[in-house]
Amino acid sequence: MLRERVITNAKIVTASEVIHGTVAVRDGQIHDVSEGRSSLPAAEDWQGDFMMPGLIELHTDNLEKYMNPRPGVDWPSENAVLAHDAQIVGAGITTVFDALSIGDVNPKGQRLLQLPKMVEAISHAADQGHTRAEHRLHLRCEVSHEKTLGIFEDLVGNDLVHLVSVMDHTPGQRQFVKYEKYREYYQGKYHLNDAEMDAFIVLQKQNAERYSEPYRRRIVDICHERGLSLASHDDATSDHVHESAGFGMTIAEFPTTHEAATLSHQLGLKVLMGAPNVVRGGSHSGNIAASDLARKGVLDILSSDYYPASMLQSVRILSQSDLGISLPQAVNMVSLAPAKSANLPDRGQISPGLRADLVQVRDSGRQFVVQQVLCKGQRVF
């Protein structure tokens, strides 16, 4: 028996325009999109609110906040996943790539110990149908860490793995070309004294010389063999970008310079920046501003990174700014562009035949407010 619902009186944000109209949903898919109001008595009236496609998040470590809500507190993992999922779907995100770090450079960190629990908890919650958004895994591989390749090979066969990024947070590389910035950042972040920091730098340089190059190549080869999407991370120079393009990567995560962002875009890598960067008006770490890349026409994808609600608010800010970005163009940055880059052709826009992942959004005059969220045509928020 066909399951149908008709939604009318909505400002429908398609990939190219906004139309005031009606959407018919049948068996979890968008059946029809038309202008004008429906006269069917059973049609749902969205009262002139925006209808946007479900947002697609490619890079968030938000789950870690629920795994460790306070220093020294290790929260039950399955409960943490459900709390994280509720926040994700409440932000209008219907597909989320939970980013899991492989190769923690923190000498006092617990990420590697938590990793198996996080993977198992996400997989179990999804298998049991307890999650409301669709969860997938994004493996962030620190190629300079001795354990990265082995852990990656153990995890890459998980059915939820669909995206892999390659990182190198070693002194003198990418985000930390300047050694003094590396020292300032990590000594403050990990609370190391001068002697501990000196030893930390020596170890990281040794590990990079031994592992980075062979691990990067092997991880890339495995991803191509499995048809997984690949992302670079923190590219800073033209050499970095050409290397990433040569490896067949499709996403450039958080390039740190205008040169790297522009060249990535020119070479076909979709430039991904943090939505919090847009909301806050700049990077919290002093890197390039996402709005500057938007002004140059080289910003392709927005990710919430560490704050799920930032995605929708960044759409409002960009579309109501003087940057010449329309609402459909801004929405594409959090829906269609990430869908294409992560090889998800069944979602990302409001079009017949695609998944009915839909978000009712009201403009309060000060912010976009999520009213309800549909995933495969079923209300989940």
DSSP string, 232-279: EES--SHHHHHHHHHTT--EEES-SSHHHHHHHHHTTPEEEEEHHHHH
pLDDT digits (tens, 9 = 90+) for 162-171: 999 999 877 6
d(CA 330, CA 226): 31
Q: Counting runs of H as helices and runs of E as strands, what totals does the chain give? A: 14, 16
Token pair listed for 182: 């590396």
Region 187-202: mean pLDDT is 80
State yes or no: pLDDT of 208 exceeds 90: no
* φ/ψ (deg, to 5) at 284: -70, -20
d(CA 287, CA 177): 13
Cα dihedral 154, 241, 347, 308 sign = positive
Higher pLDDT, residue 208 or 187 = 208
Token pair listed for 135: 């969860």
- What pLDDT, on the 0 to 100 scale, is given for residue 202? 84
Identify the bridge partners of residue 270 per DSSP, sorted by sequence position: 251
Query: What percentage of the chain exceeds 90 in pLDDT?
Result: 77
Domain 55-346 has CATH 3.40.50.970: no
Q: Which of 69-78, 252-261, 315-324, 359-368 has the lowest mean pLDDT?
A: 69-78
d(CA 40, CA 43): 5
d(CA 53, CA 347): 8
- What pLDDT, on the 0 to 100 scale, is given for residue 1? 47
State yes or no: pLDDT of 172 exceeds 70: no
Burial class of 190 by CB neighbour count within 10 A (0 to 12, 13 to 18, 19+): middle
pLDDT band of 195, cuts 50, 70, 90: confident
Higher pLDDT, residue 201 or 259 = 259
pLDDT digits (tens, 9 = 90+) for 60-85: 999 989 998 987 888 999 999 999 99
d(CA 84, CA 78): 10
- What pLDDT, on the 0 to 100 scale, is given for residue 110? 60
Q: What is the mean pLDDT of the chain?
A: 92
Higher pLDDT, residue 124 or 184 = 124
Strand, coil or helix: 146: coil
pLDDT band of 103, cuts 50, 70, 90: confident
- What pLDDT, on the 0 to 100 scale, is given for residue 27? 95
Do 232 and 240 touch, CB atoms closer than 8 A?
A: yes
Do 60 and 99 touch, CB atoms closer than 8 A?
A: yes
Domain ranges across the chain = 1-53+347-381, 55-346
Strand, coil or helix: 170: coil
Do 79 and 122 touch, CB atoms closer than 8 A?
A: no
CATH number of the 1-53+347-381 domain: 2.30.40.10
pLDDT digits (tens, 9 = 90+) for 228-287: 999 999 998 999 999 999 999 999 999 989 999 999 999 999 999 999 999 998 776 567
Token pair listed for 190: 């990990």
